[in-house]
Copies of this chain bind each other. A is one copy, B any other.
């Protein structure tokens, strides 16, 4: 291994995972994950800051997400950053950064995959 590209998140899903079964039996899922940070400002006031992440899961992780995660679920996600580009009509390019998951831990009791 020569480089390291790792992301770890704990947060809540902003939507039901979008799930697709691709040709060849491969499945993909995608969801938005909110991570919230709380902090006190210099005046001692509590604030919170929410950051939204796009999480992409493949194969068995996609199936797991599809089966057990719902809007609001709490989850630990581990993966890597990947920036994709796509073309837009006007001929320019757009970039989007996603987290390709390689591990998840479902943190809600009720929706837990081991039940």
Contacts and interface: CB of A to CB of B under 8 A. Distances in A.
Contacts of A20: none
- Interface size bucket, A side? 35 or more
Residue from A3, A6, A36, A82 having most chain B Cβ neighbours under 10 A: A3
Given A7-B7, A109-B109, A1 B104 contact: yes
A81 B49 CA distance: 12
A97 B109 contact: no
A7 B10 contact: no
A17 to B, nearest CB: 17
B105 A10 contact: yes
A16 interface: no
Given A10-B76, A95-B96, A107-B107, A51 B1 contact: no
B1 A83 contact: no
B4 A105 contact: yes
B4 A74 contact: no
A9 B6 CA distance: 6
Contacts of A105: 1-4, 10
